[in-house]
Copies of this chain bind each other. A is one copy, B any other.
Amino acid sequence: MIEEIKRVARQRLAAEGANLSLRAVARDMGMVSSALYRYFASRDDLLTVLILDGYNALGDAVEAADAAVTDRTRLRARWLSATRAVRDWALANRAEYALLYGSPVPGYAAPQDTIAAAARTPIVLAAILTDGYAAGIVTAAGFRRPASLPAAVQADLSRTRDQIAPGLPEELLHAGLTCWLQLFGVLSFELFGQLNNVIDARAEFFGQQMELMADLMGI
């Protein structure tokens, strides 16, 4: 039953957009709205579950795309495959993408579960660098060195490194972080309409940007 509600809610989300209506979901299911409260404590609760599912669905897609490159030393191919998977998933699930990476709901604070699920995608990307570093393919000296990192940023990177990419030099993590931001920057602009009248060849542009980021990471 919970699965059925989520299924209907998802397609409702895809059809109508971000503002999901509990009553509409109930109507689609031939139920009365109050009945849904037996399965979800509130609308926000349902949204949270959808967000969690979204992060996991995206994580699955990205992990699969990365794993599809059998030669694990082809770091660039892994990066391009994984980032392409992010874009494909986002295009196929625009409303859910907006839920995950768009403007947050005002009073809403992400529970601990979601941040773990949300970390899956960056972990895949970081793993590409970690593998490359472990195999000696990519080195901390191999890419253009950024201007000296402020100490506070260095500390953040160090902490984050220990959490998601143990053993990776901070400089490499920093490069990866930059590319991660670029990835979602491009994607958000594309999906949120900011690229309208600027770039029409979306897929080509995205691919080219990811190539550029691969260059930046030195993979």
Contact = CB atoms under 8 A, between A and B. Distances in A.
- The interface residues of chain A, by DSSP majority, are classed as helix
A150 B106 contact: no
Number of copies: 2
28 contacts: A16-B106, A17-B105, A17-B106, A18-B105, A98-B104, A99-B103, A101-B192, A102-B103, A103-B192, A118-B194, A144-B144, A146-B211, A147-B211, A149-B208, A150-B201, A152-B201, A153-B199, A153-B205, A153-B208, A156-B200, A157-B199, A160-B199, A178-B212, A181-B186, A183-B185, A184-B188, A184-B194, A185-B185
Interface string A110-123: 10000100100000
Nearest to A160: B198
Interface in A158-211: 160, 177-178, 181-186, 188-189, 192-194, 196-201, 204-205, 207-209, 211
